[in-house]
Chains A and B, each alone.
Chain A
Amino acid sequence: EVQLQESGPGLVKPSQSLSLTCSVTGYSITSNYWGWIRKFPGNKMEWMGYMSYSGSTSYNPSLKSRISITRDTSKNQFFLQLNSVTTEDTATYYCASIVGTDYFDYWGQGVMVTVSS
């Protein structure tokens, strides 16, 4: 079974970069699609972007100038970098596997990130 686990700092200062890692077991990230989603306080959820099995990416236009998704196939990990964060980026961040380019079938447990000075 596919398992995903997010890791990274829980506190980031405004204007800095947020960097998270998603470690995948049970499936190769060179197959399938892999994405990041965040859930804000108050329940709103936002799809941030995804990376394909070939390494191509697609991002939510609302984040396009600040987001980057990369990977390390040797470690079966993919990464999220979000630049120039503000307090509005405070959220729980999830990584997930994606079927086709449609829906999220397996999710990590999530990591809460607070942006605060």
Chain B
Amino acid sequence: DTVLTQSPALAVSPGERVSISCRASEGVNSYMHWYQQKPGQQPKLLIYKASNLASGVPARFSGSGSGTDFTLTIDPVEADDTATYFCQQSWNDPWTFGGGTKLELK
């Protein structure tokens, strides 16, 4: 299976820029997607196919990358962005998720 590796946690101050990384154990083309999950809620799609902003998602969120290295960027970070962020690939079978990066605000 394709393993997706994310940093476990990050802490940033409101107004700053944060980059959350996701590294794949093998190439996934551009078929990497990003979700935000807040405690007690279901995941919410943020970015699909590496760099496409999902409907209704603020332009503060952006995605980049291809192959094995991908980044979700939030600029500027707001207090409401406190959540866990997951990457997911759909290029290789079975689809897999990263372990999630918990974003905390200072």
Is the C-beta of B88 less than 8 angstroms from some C-beta in chain A? yes
Complex contact A102–B43 (CB within 8 A): no
Main secondary structure of the interface of B (DSSP, over half): loop
In the complex, identify which listed stretch (A15-23, A71-79, A105-113) lies at the interface while the others stay far away. A105-113
Q: Mark B83-100, 1 if CB is under 8 A from A, else 0.
A: 010101010011111011
Q: Is the CB of B45 within 8 A of A109?
A: no
Question: Is the Cβ of A47 less than 8 Å from the Cβ of B49?
Answer: no
Contacts of A110 in B (CB 8 A): 42
Interface residues, chain A, with chain B CB atoms under 8 Å away: 43-47, 58, 60-62, 94, 99, 101-105, 107-110
Nearest first, the 7 closest Cβ-Cβ pairs linking A and B are A45-B97, A107-B42, A103-B33, A47-B95, A102-B90, A60-B94, A103-B48
